[in-house]
């Protein structure tokens, strides 16, 4: 998921890296709140094991469960023997069978939230970046 923000400002002023990181973190925090409405929620383990990771080069939201990708793709994965359980290190394969979700939650929840909230996220970033120029 990528968000492009265009901010017009006086080119003589420079947005320092700290303000950019602050804006990125604020947008990621708001996005995480918005994602929570669509994350699959059988036991809430997925929504409780997520963090915002910020490095010099990027800010990202990381779901830290072993099955996060599986739920995000929305497809049933099985081991070679046809079981949904796999031994440690054993690889599973996508079957193409869609997973079933309840309550408006489902696969690719980040994309669902982005479609509905992208404008809000851009406004947050623009506001914080403009404040950083003052």
Give me the number of domains the chain comprises.
Answer: 1
Residue whose tokens read 């265009």: 6
Closest CA to 90 of 100, 72, 77: 77
CB crowding 36-52: b at 16 or more within 10 Å, else e: bbbbbeeeeebbeebee
Whether 2 maps to a domain, the answer reads: no
Which pLDDT score is estimated for 7?
A: 65
Range of the domain at 51: 17-133
- List Cα–Cα distances, 41 to 71, 91, 101, in angstroms: 10, 25, 9
What's the CA gap between 28 and 18, in Å, rounded? Answer: 15
Instruction: Please state the pTM of the whole predicted model.
Output: 0.79
Which pLDDT score is estimated for 14?
A: 53
Whether 38 maps to a domain, the answer reads: yes
93-98 vs 50-54, strand pairing mode? unpaired
Whether 12 maps to a domain, the answer reads: no
Whether 8 maps to a domain, the answer reads: no
Whether 37 maps to a domain, the answer reads: yes
Which pLDDT score is estimated for 98?
A: 95
Which pLDDT score is estimated for 1?
A: 58
Whether 9 maps to a domain, the answer reads: no
Whether 40 maps to a domain, the answer reads: yes
Per-residue pLDDT of the chain (134 residues; tens, 9 = 90+): 566 667 666 554 555 778 889 999 999 999 999 999 999 987 788 999 999 999 988 999 999 998 899 899 999 999 999 998 888 889 999 999 999 999 889 999 999 999 999 999 999 999 998 887 55
Whether 10 maps to a domain, the answer reads: no
Which pLDDT score is estimated for 120?
A: 97
């Amino acid at each position: 998921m990528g968000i492009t923000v265009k901010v017009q400002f006086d080119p003589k002023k420079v947005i320092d890296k700290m303000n950019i990181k602050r804006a990125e973190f604020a947008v990621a925090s708001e996005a995480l709140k918005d994602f929570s409405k669509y994350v699959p929620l059988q036991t809430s383990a997925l929504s409780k094991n997520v963090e915002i990771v910020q490095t010099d080069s990027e800010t990202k939201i990381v779901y830290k469960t072993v099955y996060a990708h599986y739920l995000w793709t929305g497809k049933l994965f099985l081991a070679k023997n046809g079981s949904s359980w796999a031994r440690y290190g054993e690889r599973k394969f996508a079957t193409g069978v869609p997973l079933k979700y309840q309550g408006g939650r489902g696969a690719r929840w980040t994309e669902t939230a982005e479609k509905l909230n992208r404008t809000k996220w851009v406004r947050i970033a623009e506001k914080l970046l403009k404040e950083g120029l003052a």
